[in-house]
Amino acid sequence: MIKRILVVLILVSTCLSFSPVYSAENGSTPSGIPLNKLKEEIDGFVLNHIGQSTPGASIVVVKDGEIVFSKGYGYANIEKEILVNPQKTVFEYGSISKLFVWTAAMQLVEQGKLDLNEDITTYLPKDFVSKLTYEKPITMNQIMSHTAGFEDYYFDLIMSTPESVDSLEEVLISRQPKQIYEPGSTMAYSNYATALAGYVIERIAEQTFLDYEMEHIFLPLSMHSTSGDPTLANYTELEHKAKGYIPKENKEFTEGSWSYVPLYPAGSVNGTAEDLARFAVALMPTNSTSNPLFSTEGTLDKMLTQSYSPHSNLLSNAHGFWEYDGKVRGVGHGGNTAAFSSNMVIAPDEHFGVVVLTNASAEMNVTSGVIDLLFGKPDDMTQTPTIEMPSSDEIAGLYVAARQSRSTYTEFLGFLPPLKVEAVSKDKINISLYGMEGTYTQIDPYLYTLTSSENPIVGYILSKAYFEVDEFGVKRLTNGQVADYLPLEGDRKLPWLIISLGIVLISVLYFIFSPIIWLIKSLKNHKQNMQPSKETKLFWLINLTGSLLVINNIVLVIRTIVSSSMLYLDALQLHIYLNWFLLFVAVILVILDLVNWKLVNLKISQKFIRVFTMCLIVLLVAVLMNWNFFNLL
């Protein structure tokens, strides 16, 4: 672990960082900051977080087709004390990479080769997508808005070595998730669907997506330090790539690994902040410049126009670009890999954009904070309602993220913990999520806006909440961003969750302590030269099998939680195989033990404890199967 506190180093890096800017005489940011005050304002904000939430950051601001601010902060490499340079330092863009997929798709739309509303399977080999549940077809529009209906699949999203990356086609076939929602009904962020869109582009263009984005996006924009190759093969700028880090307590950072993304269209692009700024500029051409991405201005305008929203007062999605709610409307995308975080937002009508790249995992203070600083917050919408509002009691309850796995054991991650909605008054609710809370006020029927929270991250995650309701109750909670939240239903309702948790807790306590008790008894009998019967030995083995089953799954859960961002199928499938083996052993032992009951005289208390143990194993296995702890795919 790297135990280096950056206070003194930050001062040095500030003096030596790359500041200036190309043109900042006139104009202001959407939040009202004069462009000639950008350095002062951004420095004042960012330096409070360098060395705290991230070792380094690269920030570029563009206005009217020019870079008006470009500066690196902190360190690209702590150990070697290499400073961040926005022109040279390479970061992982993460999911910002998806914007290149959507841009490529719109280029093909412009050429008449792709229809956004056509069944996506039209462009794929027959039966390529084999786990579709609904007859309603999936369209590119739905893939762009993350409403194709796929479950999430957590395994092998990010690999730690380039040798582990297979071809895109192989990955799409072998790691195909199930479709668990009707297309268009539910927003559930999907890396798989985005990669599938990249494969569609490959099929239509008759070249790999890597070659396509290089030929039609990166090279035309002079993004010479950018590559989408998931293996980073032949990437000449690799020597300038920053080290990624995992923030720890006490202002420490542990060096993380670089990310190699098998579903590469969804998140494999590496590049500099200024290269990404060139892309931002191309999305906002001025009257005096032609657009190197599209032949007609109408295509670009269409791409950046809202294409999906669950409510007329919610900014949501514009053909894959997430809409940003500031003083002015923005569009863009954030990104996270194992050890990097990023954000890019542009305001097309203002010809203003911001790029923020950091070399720390799950970083939000800088990546979201700088955007808020420069874009500002929307005007207060809380006003006295002019119409009768529905009672907040209608929507109180527990919700779970729609972005989840339903066919593998990782489903439990979505319940740690569920989102909780509590009614405070007729028009106010409290929402609790990940240990954070916010108070929301109803501004339109079933539409709530955040009015207070002690944690600014709440505003980044859920600034507004709309509850879609029908005659049966709440269908979903949504803010039109990333993923909806769904009410608990079926065997995932609270009573069943409590029952399942109770069975698990009793099993853990019993099967952890029972071997200790039996060991003590065995030692005592050994001293008295008392030999256990065959039936007793079988019963001890049944207890031991139950203990191993509990321990195996405790280890699996711990490994999954600790490594949730980098789960490897090969490393975890042994636990699933062991579950099946232990189940087989338990069945055999129970049958043998029941047969031997006839050969010994058991007391009522002995029969009770044996029946209790066997029933507990059956209940534990039932819970584990219900939560897919016997499934990998």
Give the integer Cα–Cα distance in Å for 61 and 2: 32
Residue position matching structure tokens 């699996």: 556
Residue position matching structure tokens 């500099």: 272
The pLDDT tens digits of the residues spanning 74-113 come to 999 999 999 999 999 999 999 999 999 999 999 999 999 9
Give the integer Cα–Cα distance in Å for 165 and 31: 43
Min mean pLDDT across 17-26, 48-57, 127-136 is at 17-26
Q: Which among 419, 539, 518, 524 has a CA at the least distance from the CA of 478?
A: 419
Half-sphere exposure of residue 344, counting CA atoms within 13 Å on the CB side? 31
Give percent of the chain with pLDDT exceeding 90.
Answer: 75
Q: Does position 381 have pLDDT exceeding 70, yes or no?
A: no
> 334, 340 in Cβ contact below 8 A?
no
Q: Does position 2 have pLDDT exceeding 60, yes or no?
A: no
Q: Does position 67 have pLDDT exceeding 80, yes or no?
A: yes
Q: Which residues pair with 92 in a beta bridge?
A: 270
Give percent of the chain with pLDDT exceeding 70.
Answer: 93
Domain boundaries for CATH 3.40.710.10 within the chain? 92-375
pLDDT category at 463 given cuts 50, 70, 90 is very high
CA distances from 104 to 218, 232, 260, 319, 512 (A): 11, 21, 22, 12, 56
pLDDT category at 286 given cuts 50, 70, 90 is confident
Q: Does position 553 have pLDDT exceeding 90, yes or no?
A: yes
> 418, 488 in Cβ contact below 8 A?
yes
Q: Does position 3 have pLDDT exceeding 60, yes or no?
A: no
User: Which residues, other chains included, contact 312 with Cβ-Cβ below 8 Å and sequence gap of 6+?
Assistant: none
Q: Which helix (H) or strand (E) holds 324?
A: strand 321-325
Residue 6: per-residue pLDDT: 34
DSSP 395-426: G-EEEEESSS-SSSGGGGGGGSSPEEEEEEET
Phi, psi at residue 4, to the nearest 5°?
-125, 120
The pLDDT tens digits of the residues spanning 235-261 come to 888 889 999 999 988 778 999 999 999
Q: Mean of the pLDDT values across residues 566-589?
A: 91
Q: Does position 530 have pLDDT exceeding 80, yes or no?
A: no
Would you identify the CATH topology of the domain 92-375? Beta-lactamase (3.40.710)
pLDDT category at 288 given cuts 50, 70, 90 is low
Residue 360: per-residue pLDDT: 97
- Beta strand 253-255 pairing with 56-63: unpaired
Residue 323: per-residue pLDDT: 98
Q: Which residues pair with 448 in a beta bridge?
A: 442, 465
Give the integer Cα–Cα distance in Å for 620 and 368: 43
Q: Which among 87, 75, 66 has a CA at the least distance from the CA of 19?
A: 87
User: Hey, how many other C-beta atoms are within 10 angstroms of the C-beta on 488?
Assistant: 17
Residue 382: per-residue pLDDT: 66
Residue 10: per-residue pLDDT: 31
Residue position matching structure tokens 């009508």: 349
pLDDT category at 19 given cuts 50, 70, 90 is very low
In degrees, to the nearest 5, what angle opens at C-alpha 117 toward C-alphas 113 and 119?
85
Q: What single-letter amino acid sits at 571?
A: A
The CA radius of gyration of the chain, in Å to the nearest whole number, is 28
User: Hey, how many other C-beta atoms are within 10 angstroms of the C-beta on 378?
Assistant: 16
Give the integer Cα–Cα distance in Å for 483 and 152: 11
Mean residue pLDDT across the chain: 91
DSSP 60-77: EEEETTEEEEEEEEEEEE
> 19, 36 in Cβ contact below 8 A?
no
The pLDDT tens digits of the residues spanning 469-522 come to 999 999 999 999 999 999 999 999 999 999 999 999 999 999 999 888 877 777
pLDDT category at 605 given cuts 50, 70, 90 is confident
Residue 4: per-residue pLDDT: 35
Q: Mean of the pLDDT values across residues 406-413?
A: 91
User: Which residues, other chains included, contact 293 with Cβ-Cβ below 8 Å and sequence gap of 6+?
Assistant: 103, 107, 216, 217, 220, 221, 282, 283, 300
pLDDT category at 565 given cuts 50, 70, 90 is low
Q: Mean of the pLDDT values across residues 278-307?
A: 92
In degrees, to the nearest 5, what angle opens at C-alpha 414 toward C-alphas 245 and 620?
115
> Cis omega before residue 417 (within 30°)?
yes
Most confident stretch, 376-390, 534-548, 596-610? 534-548
The pLDDT tens digits of the residues spanning 468-482 come to 999 999 999 999 999
Q: Which among 287, 266, 289 has a CA at the least distance from the CA of 278?
A: 289
Q: What single-letter amino acid sits at 383?
A: Q
Q: Mean of the pLDDT values across residues 272-282?
A: 98
Min mean pLDDT across 32-41, 438-447, 603-612 is at 603-612
